Amino acid sequence: MRTWPVGRSDATSRATVSASSAASSLSTPSTPALSPVASPVAGDALQSGASRGRILLCLVTLYLVWGSTYLAIRWVLQGGMTPFLASGTRFLLAGALLFGAMWLKGSPVPTARQWGSSAVVGLLLLGVGNGGLVFAQQWVPSGVAALVVGSLPMWSALFGGLFGQWPGKLERWGLAVGFGGIVLLNLGGE
């Protein structure tokens, strides 16, 4: 398997070996020993605080980026860029940033098969999914586009149910609250 530049592959190989050994130890059935619950130490509290901070940062980033996506698409289209050029540029920039981040992290280089699978998914997403949305936003307000995309989990749950996998009680509540929030945000719009 090809890897990233020399010096980066060693850390990746060690991480892969330790992850696979951890996974194999999880799959081995064993009886857990009864032991008293250990009291948290200061390092754990700091790490928990850092994790909480990262989660909050991720959520704020998600809300700002996802929430502004449809408005940004509207502005780009009003600026005269064609829908598929706008989507393609967005995907190219995002892919380059992710590829660069993984390269710096030392992850293994994707195989030819992985590149091929990614190309198929990318073409479908760009040509049908996101591309169709950007194409439609030439005539549809950005709030309506966000509402339609926000309804996708409801459609996924419906189709999953039709194939015998209905969402559980908490999942149904989550779907209702999430969809209600999207509708609430779009009240009073066009």
- Among 17-31, 34-48, 113-127, the range scoring the smallest mean pLDDT is 17-31
For the chain, domain boundaries: 140-189
Q: How far is CA 3 from CA 19, 78, 102, 113, 187, in A?
A: 17, 43, 11, 15, 51
pLDDT at 96 over 90: yes
Mean pLDDT of 4-24: 45
Helix or strand (DSSP H, E) at 7: none
Residue carrying the six token digits 């940033």: 97
DSSP calls for 102-154: HHHHTPPPPPHHHHHHHHHHHHHIIIIIHHHHHHHTTTS-HHHHHHHHHTHHH
pLDDT at 46: 55
Residue 44 pLDDT:
58
Residue 96 CA to residue 36 CA, distance in Å, equals: 49
Q: Return the axis-axis angle of helices 42-78 and 142-150, rounded to nearest 10°.
A: 130
Position 30 pLDDT exceeds 60: no
* Dist. CA 94–CA 118, nearest whole Å: 14
Amino acid, res. 39: S
pLDDT confidence band for 47 (50 / 70 / 90): low
Q: Which amino acid belongs to residue 50?
A: A
**Sole residue written with tokens 């969809």:** 179
Structure tokens at 135: 């194409």
pTM of the model: 0.55
47 touches 98 (CB < 8 A):
no
* Torsion region of 106: left, alpha or beta (phi above 0 gives left; psi -120 to 50 gives alpha): left
Within a 13 Å sphere around the CA of 114, how many CA atoms are in the beta-carbon half?
A: 6
Choose the most confident range, by mean pLDDT, from 1-10, 83-92, 175-184.
83-92
Tokens of 92: 């190219």
User: Mean pLDDT across the stretch 172-190?
Assistant: 78
> What is the predicted pLDDT for the residue at 45?
54
pLDDT of residue 32: 44
Q: What is the DSSP letter of 28?
A: S
Confidence tier at 188 by pLDDT (50, 70, 90): low
Q: List the single range of 19-28, 103-112, 123-132, 144-153 with lowest mean pLDDT.
A: 19-28
More confident residue, 84 or 70: 84
